[in-house]
């Protein structure tokens, strides 16, 4: 198999996020990870994601107490697929409410509604707000043995993550 360039990896994560409209939001609950299924939209790259969340939801309560998050996006499994080879990306960072006064708020709201038009009614509810995830690190798996990492400082640069396998114990 030929070596993948950063552009190849960039194209692959972009394709994944266009195909998969929901993610698992991982928050911290009582010191432990807590996962919730959420719709999302991304910014111009993977370093920003936006969620429309109710203050009444457990995951929002967790974010208010501890803004550290992970957003996990994965290709759906299915018959004939190798579950270990599914494309998936794990993004880590911090979350904050996107203020109504932020110049980008209306643009993000319109992008969100273009992706999820059924959410329009919820924008009128007082307990809902747009949240911005400011993501710092990405771990992207394109398939079995094809893991790549990136950081927010250079989000379009993907490095192959070499995994050193422990040697087999000798009998």
Domains delineated in the chain: 6-160 (2.30.110.10)
Whether residue 108 is predicted with pLDDT greater than 90 in this model: the reply is yes
Whether residue 129 is predicted with pLDDT greater than 70 in this model: the reply is yes
Whether residue 111 is predicted with pLDDT greater than 60 in this model: the reply is yes
CB count within 10 Å of CB 113 equals 15
Say if residue 147 is exposed, middle or buried (CB neighbours under 10 Å; 0-12, 13-18, 19+): middle
**pLDDT for res 145:** 85
CA-wise closest residue to 72 among 105, 46, 109: 46
**pLDDT for res 170:** 62
**pLDDT for res 169:** 65
Which helix (H) or strand (E) segment is 167 a member of? none
**pLDDT for res 1:** 52
Query: Cα torsion for 113, 92, 46, 96, to the nearest 10°?
Result: 40
Kindly report, residue by residue over 30-89, the tens digit of the pLDDT: 999 999 999 999 999 999 999 999 999 999 999 999 999 999 999 999 999 999 999 999
**pLDDT for res 152:** 97
Q: In this prediction, what percent of the chain has a pLDDT beyond 90?
A: 89
Report the sign of the C-alpha dihedral through residues 144, 91, 38, 123, in that order.
Answer: negative
Between the two ends of the chain, the Cα-to-Cα distance in Å is: 34
Strand, coil or helix: 125: coil
Q: List the single range of 20-24, 94-98, 161-165 with lowest mean pLDDT.
A: 161-165
Kindly report, residue by residue over 147-170, the tens digit of the pLDDT: 999 999 999 999 998 766 666 666
**pLDDT for res 2:** 61
Report the sign of the C-alpha dihedral through residues 58, 88, 93, 133, in that order.
Answer: negative
**pLDDT for res 153:** 97
**pLDDT for res 130:** 98
pLDDT (average), residues 97-122:
97
């Amino acid at each position: 198999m030929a070596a993948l360039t950063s552009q190849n990896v960039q194209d692959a994560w972009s394709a994944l996020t266009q195909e998969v409209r929901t993610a698992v939001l991982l928050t911290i609950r009582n010191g432990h990870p807590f996962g919730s299924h959420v719709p999302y939209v991304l910014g111009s790259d993977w370093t920003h994601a936006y969620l429309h969340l109710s203050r009444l939801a457990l995951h929002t309560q967790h974010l208010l107490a501890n803004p550290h998050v992970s957003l996990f996006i994965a290709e759906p499994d299915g018959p004939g697929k190798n579950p270990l080879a599914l494309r998936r990306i794990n993004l880590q960072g911090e979350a904050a409410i996107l203020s109504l006064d932020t110049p980008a708020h209306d643009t993000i709201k319109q992008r969100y509604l273009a992706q999820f038009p059924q959410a329009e009614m919820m924008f009128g509810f007082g307990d809902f707000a747009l949240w911005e995830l400011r993501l710092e690190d990405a771990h992207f798996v394109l398939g079995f043995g094809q893991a790549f990492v990136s950081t927010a400082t250079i989000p379009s640069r993907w490095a192959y993550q070499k995994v050193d396998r422990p040697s087999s114990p000798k009998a």
